[in-house]
Structure 1
């Protein structure tokens, strides 16, 4: 992949999302559409974004019984996503069925631990161990289920890459300055994540909310 940056287009207005994507398309490698975008614009919105000619990552974090998730994956075929996310917490059977139902050219990756969560949040949900422990545990489960890879923070990607050499690793929560912003807690710089084995770098607000999104995208690309 020549440019691993996927711009997160979680904007409420389709016209605004398309305009932003058009502006920076020469400096990103793909476009990530999450729940906010999909709930607002549905399949029509995905088709509109695909017209820009960049790979589309549907970050829907599917999490349900295996049969339901498999049905959802089949329903997504028409959108031709390059990447789709499921939650590793759904279990091995769910992940196996998700991969079996995915399109031939679609990578299925499992979300391990949200970058908005840390060890204290885990403890409150009844999960023992550190954030690192949880990510490694779920990464092993995703690998056993035959998935293409996982989503994890830049804090864990090196360890996961070392144990899963041919895995596909999506790293969100990136900040060019390396400092936490808003609801993100476990963040690193795009350069560090790439050096540690990230396949895809998901970047949203540092570009989408910048005073000059094009300049911000160029600056991030230059660091890679």
Structure 2
């Protein structure tokens, strides 16, 4: 406890002795959006040469300047370091809690968006490309779990928004083409939209993968009777 308080005192003293104003060169190089994780962003911006961040719905998070390139972010309880080479990125300062792991957040290209942002804009093909990039890098990433995306699709079904539900289920099919369940869900959305042709196609595909898929069997029988 004493060691922590001493470190906090030293950090506070260092911050108080450092000018919070930043140079125009630093501002131009660092302002922008940084990929915090596979589908989440920290936005860095400046007001009156002071550095602020937007993160997880919180605006105007003021970062306390420790040195010309290092800032303390209370919301993260981390010191973040801006590093310009080889490309501008943010690195968390090393500390015991990291257990030797280094954290880097790359600066996003102008106009680049996360998978969820593309999805919210209804740019579904771009969302799929972004989701596939996440899957390629980390196939176990919770953001792209099959059941999570399926639940999202059914949330739109409950709202009678079948068009969007279909787009969600199409993304799941593209990510998990060997899953019977994703075709069953897509078929159900088509059926609710009264598109029996595509409903049949997807129920049959679901049963080709898993002949014991009870939901696909039941719904295919229902749609065939019509």
User: Normalising by structure 2, what TM-score?
Assistant: 0.24
Structure having the larger proportion of residues in helix: 2
Higher-Rg structure is 2
User: Normalising by structure 1, what TM-score?
Assistant: 0.24
